[in-house]
Amino acid sequence: MNEDNEKTCWESNEENNISCKNKKCRLWLACKTSRNCTIIAAKEGPKTLQEIGNLHELTRMRICQVEKEALRKIRELVFGT
């Protein structure tokens, strides 16, 4: 919950077991099993690169590239290298 004790859209969708219909939401995902929500999909636990690629309609190789770039940026922020 946020500071105003209002539920986020994904909290409401998860609680009511309904799929998100707001395709403009930055968390929207074309995946019925995760109720179309990235947050709900992430809460389901670890996923393989292939599973993540399937969720985002990308290849597992592209997901690997994105992961490496994200880790590089985190290292730069943390270690300043």
What per-residue confidence (pLDDT) applies to 1? 46
Structure tokens at 39: 């947050």
Q: Looking at the structure, tell me whether residues 34 and 54 fall in a common domain.
A: no
Q: Looking at the structure, tell me whether residues 2 and 27 fall in a common domain.
A: yes
Q: Looking at the structure, tell me whether residues 4 and 40 fall in a common domain.
A: yes
Q: Looking at the structure, tell me whether residues 51 and 33 fall in a common domain.
A: no
**Domain with 7 in it:** 1-44
Q: What is the pTM of this model?
A: 0.63
Q: 75: which residues sit within 8 A by CB, 6+ positions away?
A: 81
Distance, in Å, from the CA atom of 52 to the CA atom of 30, rounded to the nearest integer, reads: 12
* pLDDT greater than 90 at residue 64: yes
* pLDDT greater than 50 at residue 57: yes
Q: Looking at the structure, tell me whether residues 61 and 76 fall in a common domain.
A: yes
* pLDDT greater than 70 at residue 4: no
* pLDDT greater than 90 at residue 69: yes
Q: Looking at the structure, tell me whether residues 34 and 55 fall in a common domain.
A: no
| Tally of domains within the chain | 2
